[in-house]
């Protein structure tokens, strides 16, 4: 069983090594590590995917983390795949190759974006004048309930709050799903990404989604 663990660790030499050693002693095999955010208070937020052998409980990893000085576990959730943000280059290349066919380009985008942003699903909405209409969605995205949200006015990427924004389809917020939205700059399209069970998208991640949206928007104009 694999898990995605988001941890905050001191930004000092040896901290990640100490955590990796603790994980190993608990029986966890680290599959990938991604630095998500570096804060000015001397802490780094990492997303770590670990694989546990049959019979080993995730509690053992939590206990091991607590024994490393300065480490804080922000969240843990089951995870399929690995964190590989280098895959964003491949995603952009795939979208660029089919950019003259908008439908194919959006299909590539929603299928590859979740893996590159440690997310569960992605949806693209299009402004059709009297509202927003779903035009592409990854396989794991919530089913289309047929609703047509009002036109979304976006100055840039931001977090979506399913509870306080009534236009958000009910299915998007189920199971404590974290949401972020970004315009595909220069087009009539909006990208939404969801992370089932969290953790919430950090400001640096939202900015990253926005940057990708700007690049892809330029390809599709």
Ranges 65-69, 122-126, 145-149, 179-183: which has the least confidence: 145-149
Listed in order, the ranges of the chain carrying CATH 3.30.70.260 are 2-78
CATH class in words for 87-220: alpha beta
This prediction has a pTM of 0.83
pLDDT band at 88 (very low <50, low <70, confident <90, very high): confident
Please check the confidence at residue 213 and state whether its pLDDT lies above 90. Answer: yes
For the range 204-211, what are the long-range contacts, defined as Cβ-Cβ under 8 Å and sequence gap of 24 or more? Answer: 204/36, 204/37, 205/36, 205/37, 205/117, 205/180, 206/157, 206/158, 206/159, 206/180, 206/182, 207/157, 208/117, 209/117, 209/157, 209/180, 209/182, 210/156, 210/157, 210/182, 210/183
| CATH annotation of 2-78 | 3.30.70.260
- Residue spans in the chain of domains classed CATH 3.30.450.40: 87-220
pLDDT reported for residue 217: 97
């Amino acid at each position: 069983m694999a898990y995605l663990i988001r941890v905050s660790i001191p930004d000092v030499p040896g901290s990640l090594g100490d955590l990796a050693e603790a994980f190993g002693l608990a029986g966890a095999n680290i599959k990938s590590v991604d630095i998500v955010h570096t804060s000015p208070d001397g802490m780094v937020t990492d997303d770590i995917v670990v694989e546990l052998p049959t019979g080993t409980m995730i509690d053992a990893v939590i206990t091991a983390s607590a024994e490393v000085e300065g480490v804080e576990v922000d969240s843990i959730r089951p995870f399929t795949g690995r964190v590989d943000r280098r895959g964003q280059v491949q995603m952009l290349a795939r979208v660029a190759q089919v950019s003259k066919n908008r439908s194919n380009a959006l299909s590539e985008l929603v299928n590859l974006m979740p893996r590159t942003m440690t997310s569960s699903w992605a949806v693209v909405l299009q402004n059709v004048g009297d509202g927003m209409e779903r035009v592409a969605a990854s396989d794991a995205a919530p089913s289309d309930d047929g609703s047509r949200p009002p036109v979304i006015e976006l100055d840039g990427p931001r977090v979506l709050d399913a509870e306080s924004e009534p236009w958000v389809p009910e299915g998007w917020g189920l199971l404590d799903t974290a949401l972020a939205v970004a315009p595909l700059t220069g087009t009539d399209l909006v990208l939404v990404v969801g992370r089932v069970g969290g953790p919430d998208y950090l400001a640096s991640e939202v900015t990253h989604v926005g940057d990708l949206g700007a690049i892809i928007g330029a390809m599709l104009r």
